[in-house]
Amino acid sequence: MSTIRITPVTEENNSAVLALKVSENQKTYIETPEQCLQEAYECPYYKPVGLYYDDELVGFAMYGWFPEYDDGNSEGRVWLDRFLIDERYQGQGFGRLMLQSLLAHLTSEYQCNKIFLSIYDNNAHALRLYKKFGFKYNGELDFNGEKVMVLDLLTR
């Protein structure tokens, strides 16, 4: 039986996380793990994690609860801000497996009803994956001009 682990980035796995890469055509869609870790260092809301299949690091994600968002129904928003699968593991179903695990992890950790993310709408592979899980555009743009999508767990 295979196991999926979502593990915080620490001194022990930092260099392995920094070695993760996306394919050349995806580099315009997502920051490098190094850039993400720098952002996490500067912003206490971010939680960077390694995504493991058995004992193999296959991806990276960064998420967090951001209190400055208030949509009237809750205080703050839970964001899945970064999500990548290393190019060596793409096309093998790891994106689906890891996203499913991340959503369960976020729901458990934050007891949230909604999960937000932003995406460039020409990122076809990621967009298709997010839509399969029920994410929908909400009409907002983030500060980088990316379209905001939300997964409403109550209507899923």
Q: What pairing do the DSSP bridges indicate for beta strands 114-119 and 47-53? A: unpaired
CA-CA-CA-CA torsion for 119, 68, 65, 96, nearest 10 degrees? -10
For the four alpha carbons of 48, 22, 150 and 143, in that order, the dihedral sign comes to: positive
Written as six digits, the tokens of 98 are: 């890891």
Residue 63: strand pairing partners: 47, 80
Question: Backbone phi, then psi, for 63, in 5-degree steps?
Answer: -140, 175
Establish whether 137 is a catalytic residue. Answer: no
A 10 A CB-CB count for 40 gives 19
Both tokens of 95, joined, read 């994106």
Catalytic residue among 46, 52, 63, 130: 130
Nearest to 140 by CA among 123, 119, 155: 119
- Known catalytic residues? 130
